[in-house]
């Protein structure tokens, strides 16, 4: 008797035709979580690639700026005038190259004769404070006149 009941269940196609609602919801939840993780990692990967590309272009613009505005010889007597470069947007589209000498008080200048020279490359949109910036800092010693 037991064997015939088993045959009846196997041969009856209407006994089980599809998935239950719980199985469908569980599969949808797992698929949704997987897609969310995949999209989040894709977004992070794209951001990292964009930052790497920008950094590579900044290094290129920095090199172009150093070629276009070379530093003066070590015999420079007016570091502020010789090293300063006004912002230049013509080297590469979307990038700004500038070189600034930090202000020092006459007492500090007399004491150590060191200047801080900042070479910056800015890119992107917005104000100067909001734009990404790569900065190279050098110390320059001024000889006695």
The most confident of 3-17, 36-50, 74-88, by mean pLDDT: 36-50
Sequence ranges of the domains in the chain = 21-141
* pLDDT for residue 23: 94
Q: Which neighbouring-strand residues pair with 139?
A: 116
* pLDDT for residue 39: 96
Instruction: Tell me the backbone φ, ψ of residue 3, rounded to 5 degrees.
Output: -70, -40
Nearest to 140, CA basis, from 102, 95, 107, 92: 102
Of 9 and 105, the structure prediction assigns the larger pLDDT to 105
For residue 8, pLDDT over 70 is answered with no
Contact between residue 73 and residue 89 where contact means Cβ atoms under 8 Å apart: no
* pLDDT for residue 28: 97
């Amino acid at each position: 008797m037991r064997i015939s009941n088993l045959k009846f269940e196997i041969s009856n196609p209407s006994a089980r035709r599809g998935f239950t609602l719980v199985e469908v919801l569980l599969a949808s939840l797992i698929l949704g979580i997987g897609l969310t993780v995949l999209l989040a990692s894709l977004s992070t990967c794209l951001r990292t690639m964009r930052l790497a590309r920008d950094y590579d272009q900044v290094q290129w613009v920095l090199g172009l700026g150093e070629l276009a505005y070379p530093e003066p010889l070590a015999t420079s007597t007016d570091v502020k005038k010789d090293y300063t470069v006004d912002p230049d947007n013509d080297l590469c589209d979307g990038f700004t190259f500038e070189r600034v000498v930090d202000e020092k008080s006459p007492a500090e200048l007399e004491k150590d004769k060191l200047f801080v020279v900042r070479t910056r490359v800015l890119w992107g949109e917005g104000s100067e404070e909001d734009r990404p910036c790569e900065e190279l800092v050098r110390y320059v010693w001024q000889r006695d006149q």
